[in-house]
């Protein structure tokens, strides 16, 4: 069940009488562009009818702490196992292993009512906390230190990726939230970007699972093919580092690909990748504003009245504020250098916990119904991002 924003559900309930009304007319999954635009961003189909999702238990504070313990403990246990297994295969990593293990567990024993509150909290609240902790790994001054030439490559690559995700995703009949997750995951930083965007747009667990899996497939492809491509094109260490930092997603894959090419390439790629993570901020703000705008004015009604209530402060998710605050604290030296590695490990583990919970919540039947189109979109975006990164470097002489 999707954990959608409470504002849409409250507005929908306010427009109906207190008694339960008859289900709305059946809606079809937005497999064509017109239907995709018609679908409200916080509405999910369930058994053929479109009903607003109830507010999240963690947002509505309806779940007491004791009720969270069983499901949260299960997600933590899976995350511990995933972290150990991910350490044995660093290219795969703990987060992807966690979501796979969660799906496998759910395949044999779907979480029941007793586990569901904690699993849902882990998939949302823990995910948001992970994004906050991620801010300790960034310095706002790193944007300047990567060089003036690096920023155009990152910005152009992201812009082309998001545009391609929108255009190709609509033509492939992929629902809006799923193509958004695949787009930001490919264009910014894989699972971390998906983690940041998921609560902003209220994406469903199945969509998150599919997006993370898609990103993972092409991360592995990049690790295996990019070093050979770099040698074929005669790239310098600096050029390949910029290429890997902008065209590979998760940090473990960036390090694996660039480290194979050389230590200088790896060092430069890591800085580019961390700087690229900062693009989460404007993307999340833009998506929050767009989502709020769609929710506030369904069918183009009440735009003026609702626009007054949409303040800048309400467009900024709390976890994004925490992300920026910790990044700023790290910039001025309030985060000790000795704490960087433990905090990085903590952030990855929290993401692993959240993705393990998402795996437990995954509707495998829904994934099968989605079909291969999202994987095709991920492959197309991987090619687009790689080509754009290389092309922009050569046009701007960034390498």
Nearest C-alpha neighbor of 158 from the set 384, 322, 359: 384
113 Cβ contact partners less than 8 Å away, ≥ 6 residues apart: none
pLDDT of residue 184: 92
| pLDDT greater than 60 at residue 44 | no
How do the domains of the chain map onto residue ranges?
Answer: 67-295+316-396
| Phi, psi torsion values for 171, nearest 5 degrees | -70, -25
Q: What was the pLDDT predicted at 324?
A: 78
- Under the banding of pLDDT at 50, 70 and 90, the label for residue 243 is very high
Tens digit of pLDDT for each residue in 45-72?
A: 333 333 334 344 344 444 577 888 888 9
Task: Say whether 382 sits in a helix, a strand or coil.
Answer: helix
Is the pTM higher than 0.85?
no
CA atoms within 13 A on the CB side of 26: 4
Which is more confident, 54 or 84? 84
Asked if pLDDT for residue 334 goes beyond 80, the answer is yes
As a whole-number percent, the residues of the chain with pLDDT over 70 amount to: 73
pLDDT, average across residues 119-136:
83
88 near 39, Cβ under 8 Å?
no
pLDDT at 39: 37
Structure tokens at 393: 């470097």
Length of the chain, in residues: 399
> Residue 236: how many CB atoms within 10 A of its CB?
15
Per-residue model confidence as pLDDT tens digits over 140-153: 776 567 666 688 88
Give the pLDDT confidence of 279-302 residue by residue, as tens digits: 888 888 888 888 888 777 655 433
């Amino acid at each position: 069940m999707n954990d959608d924003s409470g504002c849409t559900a409250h507005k929908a309930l306010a427009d109906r009488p207190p008694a339960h009304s008859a289900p709305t007319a059946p809606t079809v999954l937005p497999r064509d562009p017109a239907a995709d635009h018609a679908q409200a961003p916080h509405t999910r189909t369930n058994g053929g009818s479109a009903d607003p999702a109830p507010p999240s238990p963690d947002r509505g504070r309806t779940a007491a702490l004791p009720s969270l313990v069983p499901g949260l403990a299960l997600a933590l246990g899976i995350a511990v196992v995933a972290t150990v297994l991910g350490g044995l295969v660093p290219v795969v990593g703990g987060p992807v292993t966690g979501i796979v293990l969660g799906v496998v567990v759910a395949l044999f024993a779907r979480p029941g009512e007793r586990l569901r509150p904690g699993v849902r909290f882990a998939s949302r609240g823990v995910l948001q906390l992970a994004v906050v902790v991620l801010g300790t790994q960034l310095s706002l001054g790193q944007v300047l230190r990567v060089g003036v030439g690096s920023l155009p490559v990152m910005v152009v690559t992201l812009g082309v990726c998001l545009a391609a995700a929108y255009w190709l995703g609509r033509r492939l009949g992929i629902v809006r939230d799923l193509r958004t997750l695949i787009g930001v995951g490919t264009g910014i930083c894989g699972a971390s970007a998906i983690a940041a965007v998921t609560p902003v747009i209220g994406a469903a667990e199945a969509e998150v699972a599919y997006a993370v899996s898609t990103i993972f497939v092409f991360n592995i492809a990049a690790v295996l093919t990019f070093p050979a491509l770099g040698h074929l094109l005669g790239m310098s260490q600096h050029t390949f580092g910029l290429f890997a930092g902008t065209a590979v997603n998760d940090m473990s894959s960036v390090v694996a690909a660039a480290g194979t090419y050389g230590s200088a390439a790896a060092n430069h790629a890591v800085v580019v990748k961390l700087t690229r993570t900062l693009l989460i901020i404007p993307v999340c703000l833009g998506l929050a504003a767009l989502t709020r705008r769609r929710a506030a004015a369904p069918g183009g009604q009440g735009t003026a009245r609702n626009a007054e209530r949409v303040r800048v402060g309400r467009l900024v998710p709390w976890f994004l504020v925490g992300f920026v605050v910790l990044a700023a604290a790290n910039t001025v030296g309030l985060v000790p250098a000795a704490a960087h590695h433990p905090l990085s490990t903590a952030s990855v583990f929290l993401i692993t916990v959240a993705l393990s919970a998402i795996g437990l919540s995954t509707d495998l039947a829904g994934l099968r119904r989605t079909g291969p189109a999202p994987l095709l979109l991920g492959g197309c975006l991987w090619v687009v991002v790689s080509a754009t990164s290389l092309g922009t470097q050569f046009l701007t002489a960034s390498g």
